Structure formats: structure tokens, C-alpha cells
Structure 1
Amino acid sequence: MFGRCVTGLVWVTSCVFLLAAFTPPKVAPWESKPCAIDGVEGEVRCGTYEVLENRADSNGRRIPLKIVVLAARAAEREPDPLFILAGGPGQAATDNAKFIARTFAQVRARRDIVLVDQRGTGGSNPLSCDLYGRSAQDHLRDLLPLRALRQCVARWQEHADLRFYTSVLAMADIDEVRAALGYERINLFGTSYGTRTAQVYMRQFPDRVRAVILKGVTPITTPLTLPMARDAQRSWDLLCEDCAADPTCHAAFPNLNDEFEAVFARLERESRSTGKAKSRM
């Protein structure tokens, strides 16, 4: 009986969160101002738009979402913009404004490009935490040290309810931003984790989607981290097979996999430290 009650409680709680995500909020106008971004030409507008952290609690905490709009260059613009959905999860779309403006220059000729830092990223109540030091070697140690992770969670809980930082709610935010900016339908571009959020948006708001571009698709049904080691090994095995079948590659690397395994074996016997290193990202 207790098990049934617990199961029912979990089901009801899940339904509450889903209903909150799909409940249309009262959309306020977006207040923006012209801004300058190094390396980005043309009209750029920046601002924030507040959304409810818990969409079922109108009196609860509000999250300011950081937004950058790279305005279309032509006087006659298409009505449907391109929304860029960042990867990660955890990347901030606005951090890549310069790269996006250059990469999507042809798209921007006639369409606005909209960058939104999703809740918990970038300038939108970020859930960032320095798990490592400055050494590149630290990134090769335990992926998620439990003690450090607990410290991060405690820090996040000072300004966020972690239950509400999900892909479903983030895409509800995106649709609210769409409405606030006055767009009827939008185009989506997602890469890596951004392909997953694009699929979530398509599922939640199919009538608001004109077109979708997915690069490096991550299916909704696939756990983000669990298959990584297996998939990486398969990719390496296929690379070795392709090299062995290619005369030029085979001549240059006749024992590619053996040499690779030898490096790992040597590191197992005699570990090496990278020392201090500075990121080039």
C-alpha cells in the first residue's frame, strides 16, 4: 500500500511540473536597447526578459533571461527568425554571438538571429561551479568528485530551486521569449545538446516551428553521458578500420591501434602531469 502511495505521489508531482511547463504565462513586452558586441557588425539589441522559475507559482522567484538579437541586415526582413539553441548542457548562446554572426551571415541577411541564455546558464541565473583548479591535469581526474558536487549543489540552492532547471521548462521559456519578441513562428538550430532541446520544443510547440536544423543529434531517449565511452571506442575502432583499408593512411600508420594502446600502457606504468596550462577557448 505504501509503495502505491509513493508511486501516486511521484506521478501527481510530475503532472504538476508538466502542467506548469505547458501553462501559457502572461507575456510581457521585451525591453531592449542597442548594444555593441566586439566583432559583430550591424544592428544588435540586448536585454533581459524575466520568467517564473516555478511556472505554477506566480509569486515565486523570477529569472532574468539574457537575450541578444542580431537583427537582419536587409530592410525587408523575413518574419521568422533563427533561434540558436546552445549545447552542453550548460553553454550560453550569447557567449558565441561573434562566432554565430560570422557563421550565419547569409541567414542574417534577411532574418533576425536570436540568442537566449537558457535558465541556469550564462547571464540567466547561472548554475556554474568551479569543480577543478587551473591545471589541465585536473580535468583528467574524477569527473564529478562527490564532495565538490555537494558543495556546488549547496551553493546553487541559495539562489535556485534545482527542480525547475530542466529542458522542458527551458523550452517553455524560449516560447515565452518568442511571443515577447513578437514572432509568430521561428526556426531552430541546435547542435549536440541543443538538438535535444530543439526536439523538446518541437514536441511542446509544434505550431510555432517553421523549420529545424539539427547537427550532431542527441535523441531524447538517449542518456547524455552513459554511452559516451562505448561510442568513443566504436568511433576509434572504425577509424582504425578505415585507416587500415586506405593505402596512404596504412602506409603512414601501419600499426595505429597498437601504438595508441602502447601509449596508454606507458601512462599506466609511468603517469605524467601536464602541469599548468591555459585554455585557448
Structure 2
Amino acid sequence: MPISPLRAALTAAALPAILVLAACTPSAPAQTDALDRFYEQTLTFGSCDGYATTDADRDLFAGNPTYRCARLEVPLNYDEPDGGTAQIAMLRVPARGESLGPLVLHGGGPGVLGLNFAATTAAALATSPITERFDLIGFDTRGVGATKPAASCFTEEDYANPEVAFEFIVTDVKATAEDTRRMADRCTTRSGGAQALGAMSSRDTARDMDVMRAALGQEKLTFFGHSYGTRIGALYAREFPQHVRAMAVDGAVDPQLRFADRRVSSFAAFQKAFDAMAADCAAKPDCGLGPDPAAATRVYQEAVQPLATTPLTGSDGRKLTFRSVSDLTISALYDPRAWPAITLGIGDLRKGNADTMLAIIDRVNDAAGAAGAFLDASVAINCMDEERLTPEQAVEMRRRLWTTAPFLDSGQGVDGARDTCEAWPAAPKPGYPFPPTIEGLPPTLTVSITNDTTTPHSGGISLAETLGGSLLTVDGWGHTITASGTNPCVNDIVADYLINLRTPADGTTCTLQPATTN
């Protein structure tokens, strides 16, 4: 059973929240002679047979022979370049016209399959000047998909079992030190050992991108990053500003916030979206959250909190749990078009009927073939990116997050929260917060939706200021827009920037659909 993006959405936003007591800003890594063999390698793109890690990607790659794949060799540990190596899986979609060179893409997560992201972005932008003038390059980051080693923490049985906990802070779980130790041991055993897990940080991925730039024959990198991909892009810009040609990012992670504050801001965005969903629903007859938007959080809690102790049984005998409904709700908040379905499910849940929610979960699972082992990689990468929490800090983090987004409060109290990565076998390599500015960067472009449901607009403003670049504000609801190709205003501005290096005038705004549904 493929991983449901319901759990993926929750994990991407909530895996372990961090209280960073101190932060340092590493200097740009030097390219030593020992790294020359990686920088000077020649990539050989060929058939994508053997690169797909899901059934959906096997069909996708086989259906388009223009897709070509290759593996980039990088040091497993950049501090020991003569030691073991990792193999970064790449997919190239050739430009439809005269190419300006490669446009390296990062689709987010952490854990999104980069090969799939390149292929689906090429389809979404099929008539865009971007796909006419650039070869799109997608890659599975360390720990992800066809890249080796890949993270593996959970079995198919785990994903199918609603009782299995995948993180121990923003849930109804009362975790113990043994739970975190078991999590670390499983990930270590299944992922190739502690050294492999220790090499799955975002800072390592940023360094991989510089090797990729050179192996692609480019003096400078042209990059587009989506959601978590903005973290990768920002890290690259900080460490290799002299190697950036153009960088467009959408759905920005705020580079100035400590990890704990960033998590809280994300949960504030979830609550804001929930409140908007409730207001939209209340304007319609028979709203599942009731006619009063101000009471919607209480109505939701009354329907969902009992599932934490007594799951509701569907007509087919399956159990609907607090965790599964919370995951589904968060997933729905990302897109206003999904709001009517989830409020219908909540209304039926209030009547004691689990079948609507279970049917929605089934439909999402059926469409999740492109997700792959998203959650495995998300756990591994976040554990390498974020400082550890003590049990006391984890409890306080759960309290902060549930206070900020009370609709997600399980009603079970905050005790038992623990850092999922508490027993991780490798020390983290945090890269945030950033210095206020990055010197030596060319003009960049940050795209940010005013009511982004997981990376708040304030983070887009902050990243644009840190990069010293332009901000394109998009008025509306949702999480990222550029890669979908659905907004002509955004499409034209981003294409003009990537191709011609022209940035929009200060204050430029595009518009999405309002926070209302039919």
C-alpha cells in the first residue's frame, strides 16, 4: 500500500519541532582537490529503466521515451571525500526548443520524488516558455526514491495500520524513550546504517547540487525550488552565491526563524485555513462544521477528539482514528477545492458515520502512487536538519502547537510528546537561521501566496529580503502555484525571470481564486 499524502502532509509540516538554543552560520565549503573527481565527472543520460520506485513512475517513465536518466556520484561524507559515495538519481526532460541549459528543480517535502516532479512539471508547463528554453532536471535528494542510499523506516504494513505512529509530537501518542529508540533502530537497520542516515541532511544536498552544476557543464546554476525546495535553494545560495545564475522559489521556508518558531508559524497558517474553510462552509446549507464559523473548532473537536480513545468503526469493519482524520483534514487545507469533501466527511462523522471519511482516505491512497516512501525520507532528512528536543521541550512544543492550532488538539493532554529523532544515530547538521543577508547573489525571485496554508506569506517576505531579491505576491489561498502552470500571471513573470533575468517591479501582485468553493 503506497503512503498516503495525508500522513505526508502532516509529516512535512510537523516532524519534530525544534527549540534551537544556539545557532551558527557555517562558512561556504571549499572545493578541495579530493573533490575534483566528483566535480569533473561526466554524466551519461540513458534509459530510465530501473529508476522508478513506484508503479505510477514506472508507467510514467515508460510512456515518454524523451525522459533520460543518469546517476551523479557524490561523497557520502564531504569531510571524507575518499570514503564511501552516494548515487544521486537524475531525470532530464529536454527543452522543446533551443535550450539555454538545464533548469534544476526541487519539488519539496522533504521526501518528494524529484524524478516524478520533473516529469509532472514538464507536463504542467507543456506550453510554457520555460519548457521551450530549458532542459528540466529533477533529482531524488539524499534518502529519497532512486537515490542510493535511500531511507527506509516503515513497512507497507506500517502504512496500512492506522495505529502506527510516525512521529511523537503532534499526535495523540504517549511516547516513551523506547519508542524513539525503536524508531531509530529500524531506520538505521533498513537504511544502510548510521553513516548512511548521517549523510541525509539538506546541507549535504545543497553541496550535491554544486557537484551537479559542474557535472552538467554549467558555470552557474539555474534553479527552481518548491516548498521545502526553497530551503535547499536558500542553503545553496548561502554557500555558493557565486555559482547562481537565477533562482526562483515558491512557498518559502522562512530562513530567519528558529525551527520551533517556524513550526508554530506553520500551525498558525493551518488554523487560519481551517477558519477560512469553516466560514466558507457556514455560508452553505447543512454545513458539516455548523452555521457558526466561530464555533467550528469546538464542533470539530467534539467530533474528532473521541476517536483518540475510541476509533469509529466503518460499515466494512475498518477503524477511523483521530490520527487519520487529523491527517486528512490537514491535507484538505492545502487546497480550497478539497474543503467541501472534508466538511461533508466531518458532518457525517458527527452523525456517527465513518464511511465518508474512510472513502475519502481510500481515494487519496489510490492516487498516492507517486508519493513513494515519502515519510521514510521525511523522517530521515528532518532528523538530520533539526536540533534535538529534550522530553521537556517536546512537551512544551506540543503545548505551543495545539495552542496555536487548537483544531488539532487531541484532547489527550500534552504529556508523552517526544522528539521522534531523540535516539537518532547521527548528530544533526542544522542550517537555520540564516544571516540577515547573503552577499554576492544575483537577482532572485520569491513567489509567495498571501494565504499559504503551510509556509506563511511572512516567510516569503523574509526569504526575499534575505536573498536581496524580488518578491512576487500572489493573492489567494493554497500552497505554491508556479509548478502547476495554472496561473498565467505567475507563469509569465517566472518565465521572464528565468529566461531573460528580468525581475518584476516592486509590489507586483498576481491573483488566485478567493477562499470560497462552489
The verdict on a shared fold, with TM-score over 0.5 as the criterion, is: yes
Q: Quote the Cα distance in structure 1 between the aligned partners of 2:303 and 2:278.
A: 24
Q: Which moved more, 1:260-269 or 1:103-112?
A: 260-269
1:129 aligns with 2:163: no
Equivalent runs, 1:37-48 vs 2, <5 Å: 37-38=60-61, 41=64, 43-48=66-71
Does the 8 A contact of 1:116 with 1:174 survive in 2?
A: no
Structure possessing the higher relative contact order (Cα contacts under 8 Å, 6 or more residues apart): 2
1:66 aligns with 2:89: yes
Among residues 167, 172, 181, which one is paired with 1:143 in the alignment?
A: 167
Shift of 1:146: 1.5
Among residues 292, 295, 299, which one is paired with 1:255 in the alignment?
A: 292
1:103 aligns with 2:140: no
Q: Which moved more, 1:101-110 or 1:260-269?
A: 260-269
- The equivalent of 2:31 in structure 1 is 23
- The equivalent of 1:94 in structure 2 is 115
- The equivalent of 1:78 in structure 2 is 100
Does the 8 A contact of 1:22 with 1:172 survive in 2?
A: no
Q: Secondary structure at the match of 2:217?
A: coil
Shift of 1:236: 2.7
Q: Secondary structure at the match of 2:224?
A: strand
**After superposition, what is the alpha-carbon deviation per residue over 1:92-131, rounded to whole angstroms, capped at 9, x for unaligned?**
2013343122123321211111112122211221112117
- The equivalent of 1:212 in structure 2 is 247
Give the AA of the match of 2:185.
Q
Does the 8 A contact of 1:87 with 1:191 survive in 2?
A: yes
Q: Quote the Cα distance in structure 1 between the aligned partners of 2:202 and 2:257.
A: 14
- The equivalent of 2:136 in structure 1 is 113
Q: Judging changes above 3 Å, is the alpha-carbon distance between structure 1 residues 148 and 229 closer, same or farther for their aligned structure 2 residues?
A: farther
Q: Quote the Cα distance in structure 2 between the aligned partners of 1:48 and 1:40.
A: 21
Does the 8 A contact of 1:23 with 1:55 survive in 2?
A: no
Query: What is the number of equivalent residue pairs in this alignment?
Result: 261
Among residues 220, 224, 233, which one is paired with 1:189 in the alignment?
A: 224
TM-score normalized by structure 1? 0.77
1:203 aligns with 2:211: no
Shift of 1:87: 1.3
Percent identity among equivalent residues?
A: 21
Q: Judging changes above 3 Å, is the alpha-carbon distance between structure 1 residues 55 and 237 closer, same or farther for their aligned structure 2 residues?
A: closer
**After superposition, what is the alpha-carbon deviation per residue over 1:155-197, rounded to whole angstroms, capped at 9, x for unaligned?**
1352734333222221111111111111222221111110011
- The equivalent of 2:208 in structure 1 is 173
Does the 8 A contact of 2:104 with 2:136 survive in 1?
A: yes
Shift of 1:249: 5.6
Q: Quote the Cα distance in structure 2 between the aligned partners of 1:169 and 1:242.
A: 39
Give the AA of the match of 2:99.
R
Q: Quote the Cα distance in structure 1 between the aligned partners of 2:83 and 2:99.
A: 38
Shift of 1:233: 4.2
TM-score normalized by structure 2? 0.44
List runs of 5+ in structure 1 lacking aligned partners: 1-10
- The equivalent of 1:32 in structure 2 is 45
Q: Judging changes above 3 Å, is the alpha-carbon distance between structure 1 residues 72 and 230 closer, same or farther for their aligned structure 2 residues?
A: closer
Give the AA of the match of 2:144.
T
Q: Quote the Cα distance in structure 1 between the aligned partners of 2:276 and 2:41.
A: 57
Q: Judging changes above 3 Å, is the alpha-carbon distance between structure 1 residues 194 and 223 closer, same or farther for their aligned structure 2 residues?
A: farther
CA root-mean-square deviation: 3.3
Q: Which moved more, 1:58-67 or 1:90-99?
A: 90-99
Q: Which moved more, 1:176-185 or 1:268-277?
A: 268-277
Q: Quote the Cα distance in structure 2 between the aligned partners of 1:228 and 1:41.
A: 39
**After superposition, what is the alpha-carbon deviation per residue over 1:186-212, rounded to whole angstroms, capped at 9, x for unaligned?**
221111110011001111122222222
